[in-house]
């Protein structure tokens, strides 16, 4: 097989294995020269020359237009596939669509996408899907979706949603962790500020205050257990460098940086910050 872009009256050469020479694609008539002689072949024409097998074939593109010249060669006689003829494809290289070309598929073998190729689906028939385990998906941008039904006991994690409207009599069980404290009451006086905090699930953060000279932490006597105070957010996860405040106890620190207070949900602590 030969395939190359030729300029007008440019000559090219290839070694023939076979006896037929078929011009599959050409912008103009191609002059084909073998050991037997020369032939003028247009696109779709072929010549059978058994004496040319195993020899050099010379091609020359006639006309005034450059273009792709593709020649198919082999033994016997070449019969090009007709339009509408069914073709079974067992293996294919990677295929990329230009984004505007419609594709109609009656049936399809397993298909793998590379993760970077956008796929737009206008409509789909009803699907009966066996359990599917997905370990990784490319990012998806979904502008619209049909109605969805999620089977009972199926876990769905959603990080962000557009506005959602539920119909009447629809029950949606929701569980979540509250990152903020359960209750905060702040009051200020000249020279100090007092904040009463009831802890939630996550650690309570006392923010940086550069004019603060001292901070006093007073744990409630009714707390379920001791409180832990961390000077850095990363220490909360590792539970390292914790300062302990016993039930009903106090802790005094001369710092203006942030602090993280952790305890049981519902435990209370009073934060007194003195400032200059």
Residue 255, domain CATH: 2.60.120.10
Phi/psi-derived region of residue 14, left when phi > 0, alpha when psi is between -120 and 50, beta in every other case:
beta
pLDDT at 190: 74
Instruction: Give the Å distances, CA to CA, from 207 to 79, 200, 211.
Output: 81, 17, 12
Distance CA 30, CA 6 (A): 10
Average pLDDT over residues 28-41: 91
Q: Which residue has the higher pLDDT, 164 or 256?
A: 256
The DSSP line for 63-83 is SS--EEEEEEEESS---PPPT
Decide if 221 contacts 247 (C-beta within 8 A): yes
Enclosing H/E stretch for 47: strand 46-48
Q: Which residues contact 228 (CB under 8 A, 6 or more apart)?
A: 239, 242, 243, 244, 245, 261, 262, 263
Q: Is the pLDDT of residue 229 over 60?
A: yes
In a domain, 204, yes or no: yes
Tally DSSP H helices, then E strands, for the chain.
1, 17
Q: Which of 74, 96, 119 is the last residue of a domain?
A: 74
The number of distinct structural domains making up the chain is 2
Instruction: Tell which residue, 59, 63, 56, has the closest CA to residue 23.
Output: 59
Residue range(s) defining the domain that contains residue 234: 183-275
Q: Model-level pTM?
A: 0.35
E strand spans, 203-247:
204-206, 212-219, 227-230, 243-245
Is residue 119 assigned to a domain?
no
* Amino acid 177: pLDDT: 44
């Amino acid at each position: 097989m030969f395939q190359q872009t030729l300029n007008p009256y440019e000559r090219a050469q290839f070694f023939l294995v076979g006896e037929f020479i078929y011009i599959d694609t050409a912008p103009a008539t191609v002059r084909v020269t073998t050991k037997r002689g020369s032939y003028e072949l247009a696109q779709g024409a072929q010549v059978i020359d058994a004496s040319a097998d195993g020899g050099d074939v010379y091609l020359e593109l006639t006309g005034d237009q450059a273009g792709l010249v593709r020649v198919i060669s082999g033994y016997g006689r070449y019969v090009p596939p007709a339009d509408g003829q069914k073709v079974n494809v067992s293996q294919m290289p990677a295929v990329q669509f230009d984004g505007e070309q419609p594709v109609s598929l009656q049936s399809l073998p397993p298909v793998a996408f590379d993760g970077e190729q956008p796929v737009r689906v206008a409509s789909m028939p009803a699907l009966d899907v066996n359990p599917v385990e997905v370990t990784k998906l490319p990012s998806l941008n979904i502008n619209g979706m049909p109605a969805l039904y999620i089977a009972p006991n199926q876990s769905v994690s959603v990080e962000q949603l557009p506005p959602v409207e539920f119909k009447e009599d629809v029950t949606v069980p929701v569980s979540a962790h509250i990152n903020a404290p359960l209750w905060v009451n702040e009051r200020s006086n000249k020279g100090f500020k007092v904040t009463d905090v009831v802890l939630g699930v996550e650690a309570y953060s006392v923010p940086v205050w550069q004019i603060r000279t001292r901070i006093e932490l007073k744990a409630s006597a009714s707390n379920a257990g001791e409180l832990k105070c961390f000077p850095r957010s990363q220490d909360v996860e590792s539970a390292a460098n914790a300062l302990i405040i016993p039930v009903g106890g106090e802790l005094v620190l001369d710092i203006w940086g942030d602090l993280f207070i952790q305890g049981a949900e519902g435990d209370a602590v009073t934060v007194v910050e003195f400032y200059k």
